[in-house]
Amino acid sequence: MEIDLASVNWAQAQFALTALYHWLFVPITLGLSFLCAFFESIYVKTGSKEWKRLTHFWMTLFGINFAIGVATGIILEFEFGTNWSTYSWMMGDIFGAPLAIEGIAAFFLEATFFAVMFFGWNRVSKGFHLFATWMVAIGSSLSALWILVANGWMQNPVGMRFNPDTVRFEMENFFAVISNPVAISKFTHTTTSSFVVGACFVISISCWYLLRKKHVRMAKRSIAVAATFGFIAAIATAVTGDESGYDVAVYQPMKLAAVEGLYDGHEGQAIVAFGILNPDKKPGVEGPEFTYEIAIPKGLSFLATRTLNGFVPGINDLVYGNPEHNVMGAVEKIEKGKLAVAALKDLKAAAKEGDDAAKAEALTRFEANSDYMGWGYMKDPVDAVPSVPTAFYSFHYMVYVGSFIIFAMFLFLIFSRRGSMDRHVWLQLLGLLCFPLMYAASELGWVVAEVGRQPWVMQGRLLTDVAATKIDAGHVQATFFIFLVLFTALAIAEVSIMIKQINLGPEAE
């Protein structure tokens, strides 16, 4: 199979670009939709005009953000087809289902009730309007659920088998796909962290008002609700993050080794709380992993195996194998993979010639190593290692900010309850800082997930290089730059509109 690497690289760059742009808007939508629902619920319960104004204000910002989230989202679904058509064919029998379910079960909820949420104030009853707002919030989280089931499956492919006749993976167990532990931890971690992003969005803007001594009452009320929601969500993010880490250890040990910068695994493995990677360290090359490190003894073993002395494989173990701990390395997997690829080729040739005996023989050989087929296309065992610095630093940033935010939310909660948020400039400055910090953490979370999975598009089964569409790099490059210009222009407009709306503040009483 010939592979045009330039084309693959541009396709990857394009997916990264469009996904990261999309993710600029989605976490705000996920979090802010629920906050709008909380605000409106309080309005409906109290009948207070002020809560209605407050709801209106945040909904306006929600709407601006939602529109561009929709715009940048449509492309991702179709990009699987345009840029990753081999993937779409080989995985479509399983992967297409959650995408279609997302459309049926989630997008229509959002699309239908969004119009009520924004234009129904004088057209439907108060109760129905509130219902619509909740439906938009639930719809947005349901949409996250299905796309994360799809993504979880890419990280840990379950519930399917490879069919050599059709040359594709076919679904055998839908319930295994939707109850995939990776999908569940991805969904819970992604949504709860997005709730935190939404809460930070509200808190940062509100703190800016407090600093400017504008809309003080509205800002304090907004912070009180957002901090409560944000604090609970931040703790949930930590819990689900831990679960997510455990799943990575079980299903994607190479990703774990990369995010921890671990080359040689040990029993009772320490975890690096802070470290600077040694840039000269490579797989199979002697030398320290870090130039500076602060480690917590046995931490990684506990995280990855839930025991203090469990063995955690490092990059070298996973590339070259570690028989002592029963770890099969990439070297051996590639050998088995090559046997499977050769057997598949023979199988195809025998089928073409109608030679049943040769076909049966090739099938037996294929079945023996079919689990490693994807490895057969890997050129060098070292290619199995994702970018360690990207994974390591992104992951650590995410953990630092996640921990910091729990503490910050706790402070906002305490000072909100005391009613003194408007009296502490340091707290307001801290609030201002929360959103950009958390925003970056949310984006880097995806960097960890996707860069950490490389070189695979479907963990252990299909290499990214093989999955791309057969197309000249020039086409993909051209669409990459069109996206870059278009999305940047739209993002500039979005930010400009958003800043203006924040400056205008809530409508006058």
Does 171 contact another protein by CB under 8 A? Answer: yes
State which residue, 171 or 232, has the beta carbon closest to another protein. Answer: 171
Q: Which residues pair with 169 in a beta bridge?
A: 162
How far, in Å, are 64, 252, 275, 387 from residue 296 at the CA level?
45, 22, 11, 24
Q: Which amino acid is at 500?
A: K
Q: Which helix (H) or strand (E) holds 160?
A: strand 160-163
Choose, by CB under 8 A, the member of 12, 33, 55, 72 that binds another protein.
72
Radius of gyration of the chain (CA): 25
How far, in Å, are 31, 52, 219 from residue 421 at the CA level?
22, 22, 9
Choose, by CB under 8 A, the member of 4, 20, 41, 170 that binds another protein.
170
Residues between 489 and 508 that touch another protein (CB under 8 A): 489-490, 492-494, 496-497, 499-501, 504, 507
Does 108 contact another protein by CB under 8 A? Answer: yes
Q: Rounded to whole angstroms, how far apart are CA atoms 74 and 21?
A: 12
Choose, by CB under 8 A, the member of 45, 46, 48, 100 that binds another protein.
100
Q: Which residues pair with 267 in a beta bridge?
A: 311
Choose, by CB under 8 A, the member of 15, 34, 39, 107 that binds another protein.
107
In the complex, minimum distance from the CB of residue 12 to another protein, in angstroms, rounded to a whole number: 15
Enumerate residues 6+ apart whose C-beta is below 8 A from 304: 245, 246, 249, 250, 256, 269, 310, 312
Burial-class residue 366 by CB neighbours within 10 Å (0-12, 13-18, 19+): buried
State which residue, 143 or 301, has the beta carbon closest to another protein. Answer: 143
Site string for another protein, 22-61 (x = CB under 8 A): ----------------------------------x-----
Residues between 339 and 398 that touch another protein (CB under 8 A): 348
Choose, by CB under 8 A, the member of 41, 112, 228, 390 that binds another protein.
112
Expressed in percent and rounded to 5, the helix, strand and coil fractions of the chain are 75, 5, 20
Site string for another protein, 73-92 (x = CB under 8 A): -xx-xx-xxxxxxx-xx-xx
Residues between 187 and 226 that touch another protein (CB under 8 A): none
CA dihedral 419, 420, 422, 424 (to 10 degrees): -160
Q: Rounded to whole angstroms, how far apart are CA atoms 105 and 505?
A: 35
DSSP secondary structure of 301-315? HHHHHSSTT-B---H
Q: How is residue 286 written in tokens? A: 């002697």
Enumerate residues 6+ apart whose C-beta is below 8 A from 478: none
Does 150 contact another protein by CB under 8 A? Answer: no
Q: Which residues pair with 311 in a beta bridge?
A: 267
Q: Rounded to whole angstroms, how far apart are CA atoms 31 and 194?
A: 6
State which residue, 146 or 393, has the beta carbon closest to another protein. Answer: 146
In the complex, minimum distance from the CB of residue 96 to another protein, in angstroms, rounded to a whole number: 4
State which residue, 105 or 411, has the beta carbon closest to another protein. Answer: 105
Stretch that binds another protein, among 101-109, 215-223, 235-243, 275-283 (CB under 8 A): 101-109
DSSP assignment letter at 48? -
Residues between 436 and 475 that touch another protein (CB under 8 A): 469-472, 475
Other C-beta atoms within 10 Å of 430: how many?
Answer: 19
In the complex, minimum distance from the CB of residue 78 to another protein, in angstroms, rounded to a whole number: 6
DSSP assignment letter at 472? -
Q: Rounded to whole angstroms, how far apart are CA atoms 313 and 330?
A: 13
State which residue, 242 or 507, has the beta carbon closest to another protein. Answer: 507
DSSP assignment letter at 452? T
Choose, by CB under 8 A, the member of 19, 30, 110, 157 that binds another protein.
110
Is the peptide bond between 323 and the residue preceding it cis, with omega within 30 degrees of 0? no
State which residue, 74 or 294, has the beta carbon closest to another protein. Answer: 74
State which residue, 183 or 234, has the beta carbon closest to another protein. Answer: 183
The gap from C-alpha 368 to its chain's centroid, in whole angstroms, comes to 34
Residues between 121 and 140 that touch another protein (CB under 8 A): 121, 123-124, 128, 132
State which residue, 206 or 479, has the beta carbon closest to another protein. Answer: 479
Size of the site for another protein (CB under 8 A): 82
In the complex, minimum distance from the CB of residue 471 to another protein, in angstroms, rounded to a whole number: 6
State which residue, 380 or 472, has the beta carbon closest to another protein. Answer: 472
Choose, by CB under 8 A, the member of 3, 44, 99, 236 that binds another protein.
99
In the complex, minimum distance from the CB of residue 119 to another protein, in angstroms, rounded to a whole number: 6
In the complex, minimum distance from the CB of residue 122 to another protein, in angstroms, rounded to a whole number: 8
In the complex, minimum distance from the CB of residue 336 to another protein, in angstroms, rounded to a whole number: 20
Site string for another protein, 468-487 (x = CB under 8 A): -xxxx--x---x--x---x-
